[in-house]
């Protein structure tokens, strides 16, 4: 069975993570969760409550998700695709050298990669977005541009092997393209 890798850490966003996690399984892929360690991670819900006075994202506890494997044990050759979710986790896990090794592999081998929200911090840190157009939340625009990418405020942006969305609100826009990319790789 073809596998899709889902790197997470504590404070990965629930909707950014779980919708794609289950969606790839619907097409027969094995979703493999990776973390800094093989353990249980705490997901969070991020939103700006409708009609509220908040102008920043509010964070609430969400579900939990167990990592099947630690970053250091991931052999990227075994995976057909990579999905990078958002939340606060990317801010921390982007410093993991094993995760950077894995992410670079997907770009070096032109394998499908999807990123949503703060997942852009991971690919920016991996130095794989130079000249690529990508969507993310506006507060990550600086990360994208300082690392040579082109920030686009759209629900779905495809640039080579990379498809991106701004937030989980864009799941229905960018996930169909990610699924087309995976299915194209599988069907060769």
Query: Counting every residue, how long is the chain?
Result: 188
Give catalytic status of residue 117 as yes or no: yes
Query: Residue 127 carries which DSSP code?
Result: T
φ, ψ of residue 160 in degrees (nearest 5): 65, -125
Question: One of 46, 118, 140, 147 is an active-site residue; which one?
Answer: 118
20, 47, 72, 84, 91 from 102: Cα distances, Å: 19, 30, 9, 12, 17
Catalytic residue among 64, 105, 117, 140: 117
Nearest of 2, 69, 65 to residue 30 by alpha carbon: 2
Please list the active-site residues.
117-118
């Amino acid at each position: 069975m073809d596998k899709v890798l889902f790197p997470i850490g504590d404070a990965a966003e629930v909707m950014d993570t779980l919708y794609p996690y289950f969606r790839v399984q619907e097409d027969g892929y094995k979703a493999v969760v990776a973390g800094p360690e093989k353990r249980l991670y705490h997901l969070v819900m991020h939103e700006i409550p409708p009609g509220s006075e908040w102008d920043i994202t509010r964070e609430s506890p969400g579900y939990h998700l167990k990592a099947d494997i630690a970053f250091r044990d991931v052999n990227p050759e075994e995976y057909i695709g990579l999905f990078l979710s958002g939340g606060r986790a990317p801010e921390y896990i982007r410093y993991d050298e094993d995760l950077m090794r894995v992410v670079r592999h997907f770009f070096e081998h032109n394998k499908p990669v999807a990123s949503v929200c703060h997942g852009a911090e991971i690919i920016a840190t991996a130095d794989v977005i130079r000249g690529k157009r990508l969507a993310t939340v506006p507060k990550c625009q600086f990360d994208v541009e300082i690392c040579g990418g082109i920030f686009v405020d759209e629900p779905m942006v495809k640039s080579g092997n990379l498809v991106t969305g701004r937030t989980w609100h864009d799941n229905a826009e960018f996930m169909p393209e990610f699924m087309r990319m995976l299915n194209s790789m599988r069907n060769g």
